Amino acid sequence: MDEEYDAIVLGTGLKECILSGMLSVSGKKVLHIDRNKYYGGESASITPLEELFSKFGSTLPDEVTFGRGRDWNVDLIPKFLMANGSLVKLLIHTGVTRYLEFKSVEGSYVFKGGKISKVPVDQKEALASDLMGLFEKRRFRNFLVYIQEFSEADPKTWKDINPQSATTAQLYDKFGLDPNTKDFTGHALALYRDDEYINDLAIHTIRRIKLYSDSLARYGKSPYLYPMYGLGELPQSFARLSAIYGGTYMLDKPVDEIVIENGKVVGVRSGTEIARCKQVYCDPSYVQDRVKKLNQVIRCICLMDHPIPNTKDALSCQIIIPQKQVNRKSDIYVSLVSYTHQVSAKGWFIAMVSTTVETDNPELEIKPGLDLLGSYKKKFVTVSDYYEPTDLGTESQIFISTSYDATTHFETVCTDVVNLFKRGTGEDFDFSKIKLEEEAS
Amino acid sequence: MASIKVPEQKVILCGEYGVGKSSLFRRYAYDTFISSSSRKSTLGLDNFNKEYKVDDRSIQMQLWDTGGMERVASITSSYYKFAEAAILVFSLDNAASFHVLSQHLLEIVTYAENAKIFLCGNKSDLEGTTPQVTEADMENFCEQCHNLISSTYKTSCKTGEGVEEMFADIGRQLILSNRSRLELQTMGAGGIGTDSFKLGGRGSEEGEVAEPPCLC
Ligand SMILES: Nc1nc2c(ncn2[C@@H]2O[C@H](COP(=O)(O)OP(=O)(O)O)[C@@H](O)[C@H]2O)c(=O)[nH]1
Ligand SMILES: [Mg+2]
C-alpha cells in the first residue's frame, strides 16, 4: 500500500467502479479500496440469502423454505438499464459488455384509477389500452409522431414550437393533451419523478421520451434490461476493466483518514499505512464531513413466491405509480425480477417498492405499491439518506459522487460519473483510449 | 435484434498470484513466454478464443485470465459466472500455492457449480530432483475433493512443455462431454434461463434498431 498513486478510489459501488475503470484506461495509476470484504458496496447483490437476513439483523425463519440460499442474489437498490441509455453505451464502448448477459424486462405498467395498465408497446396494444379514450388516443398519437420525427439538428421538424425556449407545459398544450395523458407522458414515458418538469424546457422532455421509445425499439417488450445474477455484476465488471488496465484492488481495508496538506488531498491512511495520491474519488460514506443530506429514499425488498397480480404472470416488470394518482409529490416505483435472472431460488420473485420520502412515516408512503404485490413472505425496509458533495472538489481534489437516487434507471448514475471524471481530469472521457493490447502494439 | 447467442465455452484460470496463469494464457493465445512478471503483460486483454476439434465436432474455447485481481484482493464472483470449465493452477516449485487450492476450489463450486475442474502443476522446468509437490500429493488432493477434478496436468510455460497438450485435452473433454450451455443453465439455480443475451459488440450498436418504435 505504501506507494504513490495518481488516484485512490474509495468504495466499490457502481459509480466508483466505472470511474476507476475510466481512470485506469486513461493511463492513471489507480488504487481502489473498499472497507467491505465484497465488491459493490450499496450496489452489490447480496448472496447467499442468509447474508441478506443477517444484514437486516434477522435470521432465516424455519417456517418458510426459500430454497437454496446461494441461488439468491438480492439487489439493495432497484434499477433497470434503458436499452438505449448511457450505461448500455458505456458498457459497449468499454467492452465491459463481454462480462455480462442480460434479459429484457417483460413489461412496464402504470397505475391509474386504482388499477394497473400496461404501457402499450405497439399500435395493437395502444388501440386496446384503457389508458385513454378514443379521441385522446388520436391527439396523443399526433404528439408521438411529432416526437418521433423531431430532430434537434433540423428546425424544420420542430414545427412552430421552439423546444429550446418553450416549456413542456406549452408543448403539451400545443397538442391539446388532457391532464391524464400529460401525467402518463411525463411519468411513464419521460420517467420524471415529480411534476417540476412541467415548467422545464420542452427539449428535455422530448429527449427523455425519445430515450424511452428508442430503448423500447431495441427489444420490443419494454425499454428495460436487467443483468443475469443481479445488478451487482455491473460494478464487478467495471472493476475488472480497471484491473486489466493496471488498477490495484484492496478489499476489507478500513479507511481511517483522508490525509490533507494545505487544503489538498495527499493520501489515504489505513491503520499505520499511508498510500499517497494526487486525487481521491469516493462515495459519500467515506467523507461524511464533506457532504450534505438532501432527502431520503425508502426501498422495500419483498420476497414472494408468485408474480405480481394483473401482470400476465410476468417474470419481470416495472410499475410506476404517478404521484398525482396517490396524492404525492414524487412517484412510487415497483420493480420485479425473479429466478429467471438467477437472482432467486426456483419459483421465487423479488419485488422492490421505492420512493423519495415525503413524510415522517415513510413505510406508510409505499403502501400503494405494496398493495399491488398481493402477499409476500418476507419484507426488508431501508430508509437511506441521499447525499450530495458540498463542493466540486476543485481545491481539495476529492471528488465525491452523489448517493443513488430513487430513479428506476441508470441515467443519473452515468451523468454523475461523467461529470466527476471531467471535474477530476479536466477532460471528457476518450473512448478511443480503450484498446486491447493487440491493437496497441 | 442486437442480441447474439455466444457459442463459446468459457474456461477460467484460477490459482494464486505468480503461479503462471497469465503465462499459460500467453502460451495459449500467442505461444510466447515472458520471464519478467511485468504487470503490463496482460494489459487490456483477458480472454482469447481458439477452436478445438474432435472428428466433426468443434468448440470455441474461450480462455479467461484473472486480470491480476488476486494480487491483493479477491477475484470478483462474476469471473466465475457462465464458466464451463476451470483450471486450478499451482506452481510445482511452491508447495504453498498447492496447499491453498482447496480455497480456490470452494470458490469455483460456489460460483460456477457445474464447471468441469482441471488441475495444473505449472513450472515443471523448476521441479528439480526433490519436487515440492509430488504426483502422489496431486492424487491425494483429487481424492480428498471427491473426484471433482476431471484430469491433472504438468506444464512449463517456459519451455512450452505440456501446455498445448493440456488445452487440447481439455478441449477434447469439453467436446465429448457435450454439455451445451442450454443444458448447463437448466441444471443451474434458476432452471429456465435460456433467453439471456450479450449486448452488441463495440461499434455495432449503430444501425441495429430493427423497426421504428411504436407506442402509438
Ligand atoms: N521457470 C518458469 N517460470 C514461469 C513459468 N510460468 C510462469 N513463470 C514465471 O512466473 C512469474 C509469474 O507468472 P504469471 O504468469 O504472471 O503468474 P500469474 O500471477 O498466475 O498470472 C513470471 O515471472 C513468469 O515468467 C514456468 O513454467 N517456468
Ligand atoms: Mg496474472
Q: What is the SS3 assignment for A244-289? A: HCCCEEECCCCCCEEEEECCEEEEEEECCEEEEEEEEEECHHHCHH
pLDDT at position B7, please? 62
For the stretch A344-398, pLDDT in tens is 999 999 999 999 999 999 999 999 999 999 999 999 999 999 999 999 999 999 9
Q: Are strands A291-304 and A102-104 parallel, antiparallel or unpaired?
A: unpaired
Is residue A368 a contact partner of residue A323, using CB atoms and an 8 Å limit? no
Is the ipTM beyond the 0.85 threshold? no
CB A224 within 8 A of CB A409: yes
> According to the model, what pLDDT value does residue B178 have?
67
Contact A28, A6 (CB under 8 A): yes
> Which homologous superfamily does the CATH classification assign to the domain defined by A4-43+232-292+387-425?
FAD/NAD(P)-binding domain (3.50.50.60)
Q: What pLDDT score does B181 carry?
A: 52
What residue ranges define each of the domains in chain B, with the CATH number in brackets? 8-189 (3.40.50.300)
Interface touch B190/A103, C-beta < 8 Å: no
Tell me the pLDDT of chain A averaged across its residues.
Answer: 94
Q: Count CB atoms within 10 A of the CB of residue A292.
A: 11
On the question of pLDDT at A219 being above 90, the answer is: no
Beta partners for residue B49, in sequence order: B62
In the predicted model, what is the mean pLDDT of residues A61-79? 93
CA–centroid distance, residue A436 to ligand 1 (Å): 22
Report percent pLDDT > 90 for chain A: 88
Amino acid of residue A175: F
> Which residues 6+ apart lie within 8 Å of A287 measured at CB?
A258, A389, A398, A400
CA B23 to ligand 1 center in whole angstroms: 6
pLDDT at residue B173, as a whole number: 94
pTM exceeds 0.95, yes or no: no
- How much is the pLDDT for B2? 42
Domain map of chain A by residue range?
A: 4-43+232-292+387-425, 48-106+294-386, 119-219
Question: From the alpha carbon of B17, which atom of ligand 1 is closest?
Answer: 19
Of B69, B81, B215, the CB nearest to A216: B215
- DSSP letter (8 states) at residue A189: I
Q: Does B196 touch chain A (CB under 8 A)?
A: yes
* CA pair distance B80, B118, nearest whole angstrom: 14
Nearest to A101 by CA among B25, B99, B163, B193: B193
Which pLDDT value is given to residue B213?
A: 47
Query: Omega into A78 within 30° of 0, i.e. cis?
Result: no
pLDDT of residue B177: 84
Please report the residues numbered 3 through 32 in chain B whose beta carbons come closer than 8 angstroms to any beta carbon of chain A.
3
Residue spans of beta strands (DSSP E) within chain B: 9-14, 47-54, 57-64, 83-91, 116-122, 149-154
pLDDT confidence tier of residue A435, bands split at 50, 70 and 90? low
Look at residue B165 and give its three-state secondary structure: helix
pLDDT score, position B40: 52
| Surface of B (88-147) touching A: CB under 8 A | 110
CA A8 to mean position of chain CA atoms: 24
- pLDDT confidence of A127, banded at 50, 70, 90? confident
With a CB-CB cutoff of 8 Å, which residues 37-66 of chain B face chain A? 39-40, 42-47
Residues B74-128: tens digit of each pLDDT? 889 999 999 999 999 999 999 999 999 999 999 999 999 889 999 999 999 998 8
- Topology given in CATH for the domain delimited by A48-106+294-386: Guanine Nucleotide Dissociation Inhibitor; domain 2 (3.30.519)
Residue A95 · residue A237 · CB < 8 Å? no
The minimum-distance atom of ligand 1 relative to the CA of B19 is: 20
Nearest atom (ligand 1) to Cα of B41? 16
Q: Regarding beta strands A108-112 and A115-118, do their DSSP bridges make them parallel or antiparallel, or are they unpaired?
A: antiparallel
Give residue-wise pLDDT tens across range A331-346.
Answer: 999 999 999 999 999 9
Whether residue A36 contacts residue A252, with contact meaning beta carbons closer than 8 Å, is answered with yes
pLDDT for A230 beyond 80: yes
C-alpha cell read off for A88: 448500455
Per-residue pLDDT of chain B (216 residues; tens, 9 = 90+): 444 343 689 999 999 999 999 999 999 999 999 887 554 545 567 899 999 988 888 889 999 999 888 888 888 999 999 999 999 999 999 999 999 999 999 999 999 988 999 999 999 999 887 889 999 999 999 999 888 999 999 999 999 999 999 999 999 999 888 655 545 545 443 444 468 888 875 433 443 444 444 565
CATH topology of domain A119-219: Guanine Nucleotide Dissociation Inhibitor; domain 1 (1.10.405)
